[in-house]
Amino acid sequence: MRLLQPDPAAALLGLRAMKTVASATGTMSPVRRTLLDAARRVILKVDADIDALAPITPAEFAAGFPSPELREQFTNGMLVMALSDGVPARKMVAEVEAFARAIGVSTPALADLRLLAERHMTIFKIDFLRRSQIADIMKNQLEQKGPLGLAKAVLTMRGVMEDPALAARYRAWKDLPEGTLGRSLVEFYAKNGFSLPGERKGFPEAGLYHDLCHVLGGYGTDPEGEVQVAAFTAGFKQKTPIFIVLFAVLVFSAGVNMRPTKEDFTTVGVLGKPGMAERMFAAMERGSHVNQDLSDKWDYWAVAALPLDEVRRRLNVVPAA
């Protein structure tokens, strides 16, 4: 999932459409304005006064927007815009739907956005999560470990049981040389008070790539870091990458808890923090250079004993901007 730069004419049309969405309920919020300006400078690269931009209808937008490969990107941008400052109003969702329909884009995320705006929370979460990275993790866990392995992973994650043999395999990584990928992960877990796979509340092995991306990318575990690691992952993820971005935006900018665990920490408006949107875009660009989909059965055991810098080199994890 690489962010493409449109030509200046299309970029200006897109900027006007994004502003129309952001202003759907009247005054544009400071968070959405900050996000819009970051997109203008970093992705669209157009010199325009946001406050002076005229609104645009979906028909006008579609008539002047000739680039098929950018239509999905603009729709994804509108989805993020709608979720960037709390749960969106129905009117804002209707604007996103109208623009997407005008340019011929249909995505399940639009239907989920409407369910959220209408406060059908249970149906929304079920439908969203079945398309998200959480479902991919469970599917991969099933394929790699079988039904019993999946059941044990879920019960361990929920804190119901533990798997001492599995936990021991990962604890052994602390004996690897300093600076290796495996030892760096164990140190990352100890620093943040996280449980290893096999320990109570430890995440399934098929989802360990998420925390390894924290280590590989050098991203923190605060809301800003979680949004960046989600964007980094979306950069290399081959299947429905927008859902992992939306997952993080929902939790940390819309204030909606989407986690499959009992943890319920959320924030609102993180994308409005100075420089945050720019860091999200940079993380996605960085992730797009990674040469394999780490979320799809990546064999991290094969490189756990290697120096972290060597693993980055092999995966083409470029230095952070």
- Following DSSP, what letter does each residue of 176-245 receive, concatenated? SPTTBHHHHHHHHHHHHTPPPTTSTTPPPGGGTHHHHHHHHHT--SSHHHHHHHHHHHHHH--S-HHHHH
Whether the Cβ atoms of residue 61 and residue 99 lie closer than 8 Å to each other: yes
Structural domain containing residue 66:
8-104
Q: What is the pLDDT, as a whole number, of residue 314?
A: 98
64 shares a domain with 148: no
152 shares a domain with 290: yes
Q: What is the pLDDT, as a whole number, of residue 159?
A: 84
274 shares a domain with 162: yes
Q: Is residue 118 part of a domain?
A: no
- Tell me which residues of the chain have a pLDDT lower than 50: none
Residue 290 and residue 227: Cα distance in Å, rounded? 18
Residue 76 and residue 74: Cα distance in Å, rounded? 5
pLDDT 10s digits, 132-149? 998 998 999 999 989 998
144 shares a domain with 64: no
Q: What is the pLDDT, as a whole number, of residue 261?
A: 66
Close Cβ partners of 147 (under 8 Å, ≥ 6 residues apart) = none
152 shares a domain with 256: yes
Q: What is the pLDDT, as a whole number, of residue 4?
A: 84
Q: Is residue 246 part of a domain?
A: yes
Domain count, the chain: 2
Closest CA relative to residue 22, chosen from 256, 282, 224, 272? 272
Q: Is residue 114 part of a domain?
A: no
Q: Is residue 126 part of a domain?
A: no
Q: What is the pLDDT, as a whole number, of residue 262?
A: 63
Q: What is the pLDDT, as a whole number, of residue 80?
A: 96
213 shares a domain with 76: no
139 shares a domain with 97: no
CA distances in angstroms from 291 to 115, 181, 235, 311, 314, listed in the order given = 36, 18, 10, 12, 8
**Which secondary-structure segment (H or E) carries 154?**
helix 133-157
Q: Is residue 188 part of a domain?
A: yes
Cα separation of the two ends of the chain: 18
195 shares a domain with 308: yes
148 shares a domain with 47: no
pLDDT 10s digits, 92-137? 999 999 999 999 998 999 999 999 999 999 999 999 999 999 899 8
Q: Is residue 249 part of a domain?
A: yes
Q: What is the pLDDT, as a whole number, of residue 282?
A: 95
What six digits make up the tokens of 154?
């879920």
